[in-house]
Amino acid sequence: MRELAGIAAFALAAALLPAFVTSGFALNLAIMVLYSTLLGQAWNLLAGFGGQYSFGHALFFGTGAYAAAALQVHLGWNAWLALPAAVACGAASGVLVGALSFRYGLRGSYFALVTLAFAEVFRILANSVAFTGGGVGLLLPLEESAAAMQFAGKPGFLYLILALVLAGFLLCWWLKRSRFGAWLAAVRDNEESAAALGVDVFRVKLAAIAMSAALMAAGGVFYVQYFHYIDPHLAYGPAVSVEALLGPIVGGLGTVFGPLLGAAVLQALGELTRNLAGDVPGASLVAYGVALVAMVMFLPRGVAGLLARRGA
Amino acid sequence: MLDPQIVFAALLNGLTQGAVYALVALGLTLIYGVLHIINFAHGALLMAALYGVFFLNARFGVDPYAALPVMVPAMFALGYGLQRFVIGRARHGRDENVLLVTLGLAIVLENAALAAFKSDTRTIETAYTFSTVNVAGAMIAVPKAVAFLGAVAAAALMLLLVSRTDLGRAIRAVAKEPQGARLVGIDVEHVFAVSFGIGLACLGAAACFLLPAYYVNPQVGNGFVLIAITIVVLGGMGSFAGALAGGLIVGVIESLGGLWLGESLGQIGIFLAFIGILLFRPQGLFGASVGKSGRA
């Protein structure tokens, strides 16, 4: 119940933000933190709660993004209709990868690598077929209205991403207290024992990857609506997969708030290094990388570990 | 149907390219086999080595092949230091930490190169850059033929090192059972660092063989990481013979894929083969342990 209260407090604080902050810069930063939280929560659901480490979450992100963009550009769908359809496509891609790799019993690094390879296959396909616009990508027609999910101001986007993040939070909260969540935790901790106790390991893992992929696809839809553009590298490139896994690992794996904490720390770090490093290309990312390495060396259990130690 | 002569040329081209891939993958497979980590900074470190060879040539006029005695020890020292003082210390017994640190290192290296050298693509020109040799009717660029022979020689040297020397015996002991190795008096941290160093020394050699027929820019390593990981899995994680065979196979698949499917779609063959191997024979072509799960 304490976690539910925490989620409610966070939602209230984020929802009230536009009433007090009007700077576009600050609101954009808040939106990017929430967006990064959504990707992190998607990855955390499968890795932190299910023990399946994926290096190719871009696959689900890109599928959601391309589905949303293509439905609007090629078929003229409304964005609000395209959102659930794209989320369903993302979940389907999760089920496809999950069914193949779990059926053959892939675990650990092997599962991580097969997801990476699937993301690459989709990147190459997206680069080569006309439906996705090839290397040129897809440009969303500009239509600034809430009905087209292209809000006139930042607050609209803030509420949209907040709603998606809340869905992710509630899903994780539910996992912590439901029977399904207990099965998933059992599979994470010891697959053989879980199977011996009658847990349908394959089904449980498949459901987990479908949920994770659905959240990730929602992130992809948001990306398209916010930036109006998607290309194969943005959609299926390794950068998205890395962003999805960095946050929860830094913030605390398998916790409800870890992805939020990690996203906030990493965004703040990125912002700080950008300001300190000035205009030299790459310099800010050097500082970011150094800070990341230093953080792992000196805070081995993530930021959440530091907080837990202080609290104890 | 394509002219068999063209197919034969593409096959040879794939073999020579694959040999360099194999050299990159050999370093990765050694590091995986001993330390059980996937070094995500591998491509960025190859990029750093390529810049090393480039500047030795541009500033001091050192021929890329003559740079071998400089680059191989330099990369070994870099690898030894990195493992001993950064990666080993950041591990804290958790594999996720290694993932984060190697990712962080890759970010640092790539962007340091970007800040220092801009994103320009650089190439070098040597007397033999455009010479070719005739292999059974197919024309092969001399640098590629040298790279093929060099990669095979390097693989053979590594195989000898690991199977015939005391150091190799220690490396194998640590790979199999670090706790036991420590008990019989092996300095495990030292062996970890030496293995990481040898893994990077392979990159130093690969860079010397690669540059005469290739280019360098800050992103050049990215393409190699995934291919090297593919080769490591294809050959069986930790297997040297597997990495060599896997490299050659991947080179040929890429070359023939490019011939039939075109430049952009051709690469898909590699990843489809990769997924197929992972699904049907996850222990790889030469891997021994069946069904044993690896660590991320």
In this structure, which amino acid lies at residue B210?
A: L
Whether residue B94 and residue A300 make contact (CB cut-off 8 A), yes or no, is yes
CB contact under 8 A, A283 and B264: no
Q: Would the pLDDT of A287 be above 90? A: no
Cβ distance of A106 and B108 shorter than 8 Å? no
CA atoms within 13 A on the CB side of A45: 31
Distance from C-alpha of A131 to C-alpha of B278, rounded to nearest angstrom: 29
Report the amino acid identity of residue B154: A
In B, which residues are within 8 Å of A109 by CB distance?
A: 38, 237, 293-296
Quote the distance between the C-alpha of residue A279 and its chain's center. 29
Interface contact flag, A282 B108, Cβ < 8 Å: no
B287: amino acid identity, one letter: G
Report yes or no: A257 and A303 within 8 Å, Cβ to Cβ. Answer: no
Does residue A170 register a pLDDT over 50?
yes
Locus of tokens 């984020």: A14
Three-class SS state of A138: strand
A17 CB-near residues (< 8 Å, 6+ apart): A27, A30, A158
Q: Which residue in chain B is spatially nearest to A281 when comparing CA positions?
A: B115
Residue B111 is nearest to which of A124, A289, A300, comparing CB atoms?
A289
> Shortest CA distance to A163 belongs to which of A257, A45, A34?
A34
A19: helix, coil or strand? helix
ipTM surpassing 0.85: no
Write out chain A residues lying below 8 Å of B94, CB-based. 300
Given the structure tokens 């050999």, which residue do they identify?
B26
Chain B environment of A135 (Cβ under 8 Å): 264
Q: Which amino acid is at A142?
A: L
B80/B193 Cα distance (integer angstroms): 5
CA dist A254 and A12 (Å) reads 24
C-alpha–C-alpha distance, residues B295 and B152, integer Å: 29
Q: How far apart are CA B233 and CA A109, in angstroms?
A: 10
E strand or H helix at A13: helix A2-20
pLDDT of residue A309: 60
Measured between CA atoms, how close is B127 to chain A, in angstroms? 34
pLDDT of residue A184: 94
pLDDT at A312 over 60: no
Q: What is the pTM of this model?
A: 0.85
Per-residue pLDDT of chain B (296 residues; tens, 9 = 90+): 578 888 888 888 889 889 889 989 999 989 988 888 888 899 999 999 999 999 999 899 889 899 999 999 999 999 999 999 998 888 887 777 888 888 889 989 998 998 888 888 888 877 777 778 777 777 788 888 888 898 889 888 888 898 899 999 999 899 888 889 999 999 999 999 999 999 999 999 999 998 888 889 888 888 888 888 888 888 887 788 888 888 999 999 888 888 888 777 777 888 888 888 878 877 777 765 433 333 33
| A-chain residue closest to B114, CA distance | A282
pLDDT tens digit sequence for A215-238: 999 999 999 999 999 999 899 988
Interface contacts A/B by beta carbons within 8 Å:
138
User: Does the pLDDT of residue A43 top 80, yes or no?
Assistant: yes
Phi first, then psi: what are they for A230, rounded to 5°? -145, 140
Q: Would you state the pLDDT for residue A231?
A: 92
Q: Long-range contacts made by residues A103-107, C-beta under 8 angstroms, separation at least 24?
A: A103/A202, A104/B278, A104/B279, A104/B280, A104/B282, A105/B291, A106/B278, A106/B279, A106/B282, A107/A52, A107/A191, A107/B293, A107/B294
Tokens 């019989």: give the residue: B184
Short-list B49, B47, B44, B46, CA closest to B71: B49
Q: Which residue has the tokens 């050298």?
A: B117
Tokens of B1: 């149907």
What is the Cα Rg of chain B in Å?
A: 19
- Mutation choice for A interface testing from B47, B85, B99 by most A CBs within 10 A: B99
DSSP-assigned letters across all residues of A258-294:
HHHHHHHHHHHHHHHHHHHHTTSTTHHHHHHHHHHHH
Q: Say if the Cβ atoms of A282 and B105 lie within 8 Å.
A: no
Residue B218: closest CA among chain A residues belongs to which residue?
A: A282
Choose the most confident range, by mean pLDDT, from A4-8, A92-96, B129-133, B174-178.
A92-96
Asked if A110 lies within 8 A of B265 by C-beta distance, the reply is no
CB contact under 8 A, B278 and A293: no
Q: Which residues are registered as beta bridge partners of B1?
A: none
pLDDT of residue B7: 85
Distance of alpha carbon B49 from alpha carbon B54, whole angstroms: 9
Please tell me which residue of chain B has the smallest CA distance to A135.
B264
DSSP string, A29-89: HHHHHHHHHHHHHHHHHHHTTT----S-THHHHHHHHHHHHHHHHHH---HHHHHHHHHHH
Query: DSSP string of A197-222?
Result: TT--HHHHHHHHHHHHHHHHHHHHHH
Contact A293 B105 (CB under 8 A): yes
- Reduced to 3 states (helix: H, G, I; strand: E, B; else coil), residue A244 is helix
Question: In the numeric block, which tokens belong to residue A305?
Answer: 């570990």
- The alpha-carbon gap from B284 to the nearest alpha carbon of chain A, in Å, equals 11
- Chain A environment of B294 (Cβ under 8 Å): 107-110
- C-beta separation of B102 from B40 below 8 A: yes
A286 and B115 within 8 Å at the Cβ level: the answer is yes
Query: CA-to-CA distance for A107 and A103, rounded, in angstroms?
Result: 11
The position carrying tokens 């190719």 is: A56
B-chain residues near A106 (CB < 8 A):
278-279, 282
Helix axes A201-227, A179-189, angle to 10 degrees: 100
Give B277→chain A minimum CA distance, Å.
Answer: 10
Considering chain A, what is the average pLDDT of its residues?
Answer: 89
Q: Which residue from A106, A116, A288 is facing B226, i.e. has the nearest CB?
A: A116
Which residue shows structure tokens 């370093």?
A: B27
Q: How far is A159 from chain B (nearest CA, A)?
A: 31
Token pair in block for residue B283: 């222990």
DSSP chain B: ---HHHHHHHHHHHHHHHHHHHHHHHHHHHHHHHH----TTHHHHHHHHHHHHHHHHHHH---TTTTHHHHHHHHHHHHHHHIIIIIHHHHTT-HHHHHHHHHHHHHHHHHHHHHHHTT--B----TTTT-EEEETTEEEEHHHHHHHHHHHHHHHHHHHHHHHSHHHHHHHHHHH-HHHHHHTT--HHHHHHHHHHHHHHHHHHHHHHHGGGS-B-TTTTHHHHHHHHHHHHHH-TT-HHHHHHHHHHHHHHHHHHHHHH-HHHHTHHHHHHHHHHHHH-TT-SS----S-----
Closest CA to B286 of B226, B244, B228: B244
Contacts of B119 in chain A (CB under 8 A): 281
Which residue in A260, A262, A261, A289 sits closest to A273, CA to CA? A289
